[in-house]
Amino acid sequence: MWQTIQGHDHVIDRFRLAAMRGRLSGTYLLVGPEGVGKRSMAVQLAKAILCLQQDSEQSLNACNACESCRLLDSGNHPDFHTITKRNDRQLVTIDLLVGDQNHRNREGLLVDMAYKPALSSRKIAMIDDADLFNIESANTLLKTLEEPPPGAIIFLIGTSQNRQLPTIRSRSQVIRFGRLADDLVADLLISKGIISDPTRAKELASASYGSISRAIQLADEELWQFRAHLFQCLVAPGIDRLRVARAAAKFVDGAGTETYVRRVRLQQIVHFAIDFYRGILRSQSGADPEGDSLLRQAIARSQTDATGPDDTLRRLDCCLEMLTYISRNVNLATLIEWWIDALARP
Amino acid sequence: MKITCQREKFLTALQTVAAVVPTRSTKNILQNVKLEIGDNFATLMATDLEVGIRYEVSNIQVERPGVVILPVARFGAILRESADEMIRMNANDRSIVIQGEHSEFNLQVTDPAEFPPIAIFEETQYVELSARLFRELIHRTIFATDNESSRYALGGILIDIENDHIAAVATDGRRLAKMEGPVTATDGYVPSEGVTIVPSRAMQLIERTISDSENEVRIACHANDILVKSQYATIYARLLEGRFPKWRDVFPKYSDAVRMDLLIRPFYAAVRQAAIVTTEESRGINFTFGSGALVLTGQSADVGQSRIEIPIPYDGAEVTIKLDPRFVSDFLRVLDLDKTFNMTWKDGENAVLCSTDDGYAYVIMPLARDR
Ligand SMILES: [Zn+2]
């Protein structure tokens, strides 16, 4: 079963060892870049631990045939509870944990966990977007982590352990996930049926920074085209603010009418710019270039521009700042103008 | 699956199981009920994964057995809106046709394999008690549960079975209700080792399914769940984790307490009267036990005062105990008004014990008195 999880053998080994010794912890914090398989890993572990076959927990091998395995695959396992940040919220709010004002302590993940297991010998929770707790939800979760229900395992999924409250971090076993190898990403794109042309798969993989979800996003031809266009704009000596801002705004609007999908698209654009400036910084410091050929060409061409690492760093900061603004409720068109203006400043 | 059934009977059964269907859930399959038809039985099932119910529907003519998963809201509406006496249903893997005299519906159905299993009562070891006693166990304790606390165990009723005896206990930390009675255990019955805390929602459902039954009810407690079988229904409920207060320790063991028997009806009337002037901010009522009389006084700054007096068999020193009238009324409300209850107290600071001679006891903590 573990063939479906690739590129994280050390993580699997670590869990295997703990399971064999009967020493699985109550809380795991799985951290690493987006789209490298943290969720799949948690689901796979949950499947093995909840499987009804004898010794499945010790061997971490799910039988794939019992009722537990079947229910887990269909997303209906009564002892496996998951939450993900709501699309219309910026943060993981307390209602997901213990119910809203009108249902406080009567619904939500932690209330579900207050019941004894239904089918398996344990119950498992997976909390997605664990980077995005607000203080209230973090403190509520903390109470459960301090005194977890017997036999419960909680998987927190996040991108960086630095984004966790120290109190949560200190009660978790931190498991780090690295990037996936480009070859693996390319293979996955083909085996998942997203791309059929191996050359194209390789190209997308090299632009993915080891993230399968990113590679899948880039497989969108429109996005790929815009990325190329953005690089051209950024390379040009003296950014044409008006033209770039207008193009970006138009592209963001094209994502759909919902604010949420527009916000996601703008985040993608900003990430492209971050890739670009990070590449520039690498080459300015003499490191080997990274990424796909398109990005590398853009970086090579921009060498003609006489800027130093300080300027590049400033622009990178702008982009990172931009990301935090996007996650707040700010008018996106205004934001884009602010951002392009900041990048264009000499 | 092919059957003909009496619409109203079927609808009643459906409404009973539909009480379990979650109003919102991330698991869409739970918005359905499962109907299983055998050669000589028809069972409706629903679950929200915490509580599950199997309900036997009677008066069904079976042409072809089978299993079908039905969307509860739409299916319920079809039965409700129809005026027909009889309804025919004919289902295959993908859809079901529901026919009345002048109506016909074709609904898509879900794969039965996706529906979570609901336990069957196949126990050989269990205890048996009368439906009447079980109703009292629930009715006389459930109001003392606390469903809003983050101490989730308080949202349930503790069931304690020993030999030929059952106790149900509920508390919110400020008062505690306990009801006891006899049970008959099967040969070789071994009580469950863990603590059995049944969510109050499951208890409500059980109460509803035995509301007009005079039959026996069977209970089997396991480490993680409880199964209750009554005449038509089997209810499965997952137990709550967590620590329940040591309820036996909550009962006061006074050596120098005052005990008195009081008529329920006049006492209850006095409590209700005294409470008329209380408000959310000033809830307490002073119960002053004096020579020959109990005086209840209530007061709040923005409403006014009340003073009610009833005779009592007491001639000791004057003692005042401040109690929340809502908590006192909760206890009195579930009693037979024409009987008496016993009240035991020591002073204004310690717990007051109220009890009846049919196995019911209730402990209330006094409120702090303003000096
Ligand atoms: Zn299995």
Q: pLDDT tens across A64-100, in order?
A: 999 999 989 988 888 999 999 888 788 889 999 999 9
Domain match, B193 and B276 both: no
- What are the tokens at B190? 């071994």
B122 in any annotated domain? no
pTM: 0.83
Task: Inspect the interface and report whether the beta carbons of A115 and B242 lie closer than 8 Å.
Answer: no
Among B223, B247, B271, the domain-final residue is B247
B314 in any annotated domain? yes
Nearest to B240 among A104, A114, A143 (CB): A114
B371 in any annotated domain? no
Q: Residue A178: pLDDT above 70?
A: yes
- What are the tokens at B208? 């509803």
Nearest to B224 among A70, A114, A117 (CB): A117
Confidence of residue A3 (pLDDT cuts 50, 70, 90): low
- What are the tokens at B248? 């036996």
- What are the tokens at B130? 């009368």
Cα B152 from Cα A329, distance rounded (Å) = 36
B294 in any annotated domain? yes
Q: Residue A111: pLDDT above 80?
A: yes
Query: What kind and span of H or E run contains A14?
Result: helix A9-20
Burial of B304 (0-12, 13-18, 19+ CB in 10 A): exposed
Task: Inspect the interface and report whether the beta carbons of A78 and B223 lie closer than 8 Å.
Answer: no
Nearest to A114 among B29, B117, B152 (CB): B152
DSSP output for A209-274: TT-HHHHHHHTSHHHHHHHHHHHHHHHSSS--HHHHHHHHHHHHHTT-SSHHHHHHHHHHHHHHHH
B153 contacts in A (CB within 8 Å)? 114
In tens digits, chain B (371 residues) has pLDDT values of 999 999 999 999 999 999 999 887 767 889 999 999 999 899 999 998 889 999 999 889 999 999 999 999 999 999 999 999 999 999 998 999 999 999 999 999 999 988 888 999 999 999 999 999 999 999 999 999 998 888 999 999 999 998 899 999 999 999 999 999 999 999 888 888 889 999 999 999 999 999 888 899 999 999 999 999 999 999 999 999 988 999 999 999 998 899 999 999 999 999 999 999 999 888 899 999 999 999 999 999 889 999 999 999 999 999 999 999 999 999 999 999 999 999 999 999 999 999 999 999 999 999 988 65
A325 and A219 in contact (C-beta within 8 Å)? no
Q: How far is A98 from chain B (nearest CA, A)?
A: 8
Confidence of residue A305 (pLDDT cuts 50, 70, 90): low
Share of chain A above pLDDT 70, in %: 98
Task: Inspect the interface and report whether the beta carbons of B155 and A70 lie closer than 8 Å.
Answer: no
pLDDT in tens, A128-167: 999 889 889 999 999 899 888 888 999 999 998 888 888 8
Cα B285 from Cα B278, distance rounded (Å) = 8
pLDDT in tens, A320-346: 999 988 877 788 999 999 999 999 887
Domain match, B191 and B301 both: no
Q: Ligand 1 centroid to A26 CA: how many Å?
A: 21
How many domains is chain B partitioned into structurally? 3
User: Where residue B282 sits, what CATH number does that domain have?
Assistant: 3.10.150.10
Q: How far is A117 from chain B (nearest CA, A)?
A: 6
Residue ranges near ligand 1 (ion) with Cβ within 5 Å:
A 51, 62-63, 66, 69
Residues 49..68 of A with a Cβ closer than 8 Å to B: which? Answer: 67
Domain boundaries, chain A: 2-176, 220-344
Domain match, B225 and B266 both: no
Does A146 contact B at CB distance below 8 Å? no
B119 in any annotated domain? no
Size of interface A-B (CB pairs under 8 A): 56
Domain match, B108 and B134 both: no
Among B16, B24, B81, B75, which residue's Cα sits nearest to residue B45?
A: B16
Task: Inspect the interface and report whether the beta carbons of B49 and A118 lie closer than 8 Å.
Answer: yes
Q: Residue A117: pLDDT above 80?
A: yes
Interface of B with A (CB under 8 A): 26-27, 29, 49-50, 113-114, 116-117, 147-150, 152-153, 155, 199, 223-225, 238-242
Longest dimension (CA), chain A: 67
Confidence of residue A289 (pLDDT cuts 50, 70, 90): confident
Cα A52 from Cα A67, distance rounded (Å) = 8
Which residue range(s) make up the domain with B82? Answer: 2-114
B311 in any annotated domain? yes
Which ranges in A30-127 belong to alpha helices (H)? 38-50, 56-59, 67-73, 94-98, 109-112
Q: According to CATH, what is the number of the domain A2-176? A: 3.40.50.300
B241 contacts in A (CB within 8 Å)? 114-116, 149-150
pLDDT in tens, A20-58: 999 999 999 999 998 999 999 999 999 999 999 988 888
Domain match, B256 and B359 both: yes
Domain match, B185 and B285 both: no
Does A147 contact B at CB distance below 8 Å? no
Domain match, B132 and B241 both: yes
In angstroms, the Cα distances linking B115 to A1, A117, A307 are 24, 17, 63
A117 contacts in B (CB within 8 Å)? 224, 238
Domain match, B241 and B137 both: yes
- pLDDT at site A303: 65
Mean pLDDT of chain A: 90
Domain match, B172 and B270 both: no
Q: To the nearest 10°, the Cα dihedral for A44, A48, A52, A54?
A: 160
